[in-house]
Structure 1
Amino acid sequence: MADDHTHVQDFFSARAADWDTRFPDDGPAYAAAVGDLGLRPGGAVLDAGCGTGRALPALRTAVGPAGTVIGADLTPAMLAEALRAGRGTAGALLLADAERLPLRAGSLDAVFAAGLLSHLPHPDDGLSELARVVRPGGRLALFHPVGRAALAARHGRVLTDDDLRAEARLTPLLADTGWRLVTYTDEDSLFLALAVRTG
């Protein structure tokens, strides 16, 4: 497992410094996806795999000053960039593994996860852990500012049916890990899967 995590840390550490400048126009898509989570003032939300914290300001706006916003990431360099960008004022930043979060069971209303799924060494463990920390009826947003086909093209890959984010694969994966898929959007300009915590 350590090797898997080291690979993820190496990948993002090498890209942290210019991450935001590589994707400067994603802000509105992040804000819209956060809006779809249905957060309420005073709520508690985790940005799992928060990276440079681009979702944190929108999450703070959604839960208001009385709410709790936590941004967790495995890569210190990404969290350092979040601080440098001033996003640490929108939420608490936590160096943590999404597969082993130092949070109480059922303590959150929602989880926002941008691009996280494809970087989890063990997606079933990661989604189960996210379910553990969310109350029954709470929500999960799996988000990416471009759809699966556009992302595959960006990386020079062919989109295949075994892609983890394909609806036919994602639906049972979520069901097996404590979630029920509610809506699924996969367009050129947006990937957003919204799920509800079961049980």
Structure 2
Amino acid sequence: MVSSSDPRGGRAGRAEIQEFFTVRAADWERRFPDDGPAYRAAVRALGLRPGQRVLDAGCGTARALPALREAVGPAGVVLAADLTPAMLDTARETGRTAYGQLLLADAERLPLRTGALDVVFAAGLLSHLTHPEAGLRELARVVRPRGRLALFHPLGRRALAARHGRPLTDDDLRAEPRLNSLLSHSGWRLTSYVDEDARYLVLAERIRDDTA
């Protein structure tokens, strides 16, 4: 992941984000050992093709990279960006550099040229963006017209709220009405919305610049 919500209810700044994930990085893989199949299923739903260019935005320990590399093949480009050096260190220790290039970068300020990618995959990122609309607009910037975005979590909204002892509310950024509006104002068109206990997966298409 790239960032974390402030436990007091606000949005954490970048320094707080790095602090939050730095102290958890070494244990991150052990905390979530069973998420691999859900990641692979989410990548399959994207319908990636050999040779395409894909970014795992807010990659954390880069658990999606093996599935992304398998989907795009050796001719494809697989990048993974995260704000927290310690998370990338754990990704390296687990051998994820064999599947793609790791970038120390903020998902809201990507060091990529406009239209460089075919697809962005973002696991657990949306509700942790410091500025959600601007962050989604930055992801749209680096994707070609009609390129795709996947917003994924291995738990649905209800199950995730229960895990954290929070009520499920309609003002959640990931609730369909709010998210649909957010996407449409940041250069995306919602094409699929799935919110089940065992999976949250939203797919969107990059709107052409002349229709944005």
The TM-score, its normalising length taken from structure 2, stands at 0.92
Aligned residue number for residue 193 of structure 1: 202
Runs of at least 4 residues of structure 1 off by over 6 A? none
Q: 2:153 aligns with which of 144, 151, 158?
A: 144
Residues 24-39 of structure 1 aligned to structure 2 (within 5 Å) = 24-39=33-48
Q: Secondary structure at the match of 2:179?
A: helix
Amino acid at match of 1:140: L
Offset at residue 92 of structure 1 (A): 0.3
Q: How much has 1:104 moved relative to structure 2?
A: 0.7
Partner Cα separation in structure 2 for residue 127 and residue 34 of structure 1: 19
Which whole-Å CA distance do the structure 2 matches of 1:15 and 1:155 have between them? 16
| C-alpha RMSD of the superposition | 0.7
Residue 146 of structure 1 aligns to which amino acid in structure 2? L
Q: TM-score, with normalisation over the residues of structure 1?
A: 0.98
SS at match of 1:162: coil
Aligned letter for 2:18? Q
Deviation at 1:90, TM superposition (A): 0.4
Matched, 1:8 2:54: no
What residue is the counterpart of 2:119 in the other structure?
110
Q: Give the letter for the 2:118 counterpart.
A: D
Partner Cα distance (1:22, 1:134) in 2: 32
Query: Which ranges of structure 1 fall in alignment gaps of 5 or more residues?
Result: none
The SS at the match of 1:66 is coil
- Match of 1:140, SS state, is strand
> Deviation of residue 58 (structure 1)?
0.3
Paired position in structure 2 for 1:90: 99
Deviations 1:20-42 (A, max 9, x none): 11111100000010111111100
Q: CA deviation at 1:103?
A: 0.3
Q: Hey, what's the Cα distance between the residues in 1 that align with 2:105 and 2:146? A: 24
Query: How high is the sequence identity, in percent, across the aligned residues?
Result: 71
Given candidates 120, 138, 153, the residue that maps to 2:129 is 120
Distance 1:38 1:178 in 2: 21
The one-letter code matched in structure 1 to 2:170 is D
Aligned to 2:54: 45
Q: 1:19 — aligned with what?
A: 28
1:58 aligns with 2:58: no
Q: CA deviation at 1:75?
A: 0.4
For structure 2, the 5+ residue unaligned runs are 1-11
Q: Report the CA distance between 1:177 and its aligned residue.
A: 0.3
Pick the structure with more helix per residue: 1
